[in-house]
């Protein structure tokens, strides 16, 4: 059954103030190092007010990243469509994903920090939460491509999706440093980077097989 489009979340003014304080503290101290009492103090409200809007610290954290996660599903997943030109599909997805990481860098850095720390917040998101479901949808897209003969059947679609996302995340996290390396001049252009990454994922590193006598004119 098709999932109905999610509505854009519009928190109340008090909740927006709480979220702004939580975003600052999570970024500075991490999820584990921030308490609901800390957030209440930073937001200038009582702890009871924080719990009135969010039943737990986990719920508050998920509210902060919900727009990024739902937007990923609605805007980016449809781009990875191996039923059309596979290289072009991968290129479009890679470029749009990198652009989204950059535009939402505050929220994305919160996610990245928790994933690197292995906190319970990241575990809930990636192992059994919305990020996990989004990852699974991308894997399903490549599996459909395999069934249609558009994607090689001897590759692991989960690993292929992981490589695609990991390349973008590492570039997003280390862009200033990576752009200085002379062997990474391709990173100077998002379009050139996305095209090369898509070509590499599609065709790999092995040289093209020489034509057989039957292929010769």
In CATH, what number is assigned to the domain containing residue 21? 1.10.10.60
The residue out of 55, 72, 105 marking a domain boundary is 55
Whether 88 and 44 share a structural domain: no
Residue 18 has pLDDT above 50, yes or no: yes
The pair of structure tokens assigned to 78 is 């449809």
Whether 84 and 34 share a structural domain: no
Whether 92 and 27 share a structural domain: no
96 domain residue, yes or no: yes
Q: What is the chain's mean pLDDT, rounded? A: 87
101: CATH: 1.10.357
Would you list the DSSP string of 181-210?
-GGGGGGG-HHHHHHHHHHHHHH-SSPPPP
Residue 195 has pLDDT above 80, yes or no: yes
Instruction: Name the nearest CA neighbour of 66 among 120, 111, 115.
Output: 111
Give the structural domain span for 170. Answer: 58-203
214 domain residue, yes or no: no
Whether 178 and 112 share a structural domain: yes
- Structure pTM? 0.80
Phi-psi group of 15: left, alpha or beta (phi > 0 → left; psi -120 to 50 → alpha; rest → beta): alpha
125 close to 111: Cβ distance less than 8 angstroms: yes
pLDDT of residue 13: 66
Say how far apart CA 61 and CA 110 lie, in whole Å. Answer: 9
């Amino acid at each position: 059954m098709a999932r109905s489009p999610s509505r854009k979340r519009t928190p109340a003014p008090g909740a927006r103030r709480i979220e702004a304080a939580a975003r600052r503290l999570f970024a500075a101290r991490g999820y584990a190092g921030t308490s609901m009492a800390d957030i209440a103090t930073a937001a200038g409200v009582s702890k009871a007010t924080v719990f009135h809007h969010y039943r737990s610290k986990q719920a508050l954290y998920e509210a902060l990243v919900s727009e990024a996660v739902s937007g990923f599903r609605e805007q980016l997943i449809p781009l990875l469509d191996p039923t059309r030109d596979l290289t072009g599909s991968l290129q479009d997805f890679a470029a749009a994903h990198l652009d989204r990481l950059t535009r939402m860098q505050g929220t994305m850095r919160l996610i990245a920090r928790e994933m690197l720390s292995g906190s319970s917040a990241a575990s809930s998101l990636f192992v059994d939460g919305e990020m996990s479901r989004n990852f699974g949808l991308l894997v399903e897209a490549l599996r459909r491509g395999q069934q249609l003969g558009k994607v090689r059947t001897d590759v692991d679609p989960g690993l292929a999706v992981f490589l695609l996302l990991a390349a973008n995340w590492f570039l997003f996290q280390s862009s200033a440093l990576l752009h200085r390396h002379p062997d990474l001049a391709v990173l100077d252009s998002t379009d050139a980077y996305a095209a090369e990454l898509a070509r590499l994922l599609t065709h790999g590193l092995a040289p093209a097989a020489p034509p057989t006598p039957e292929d010769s004119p």
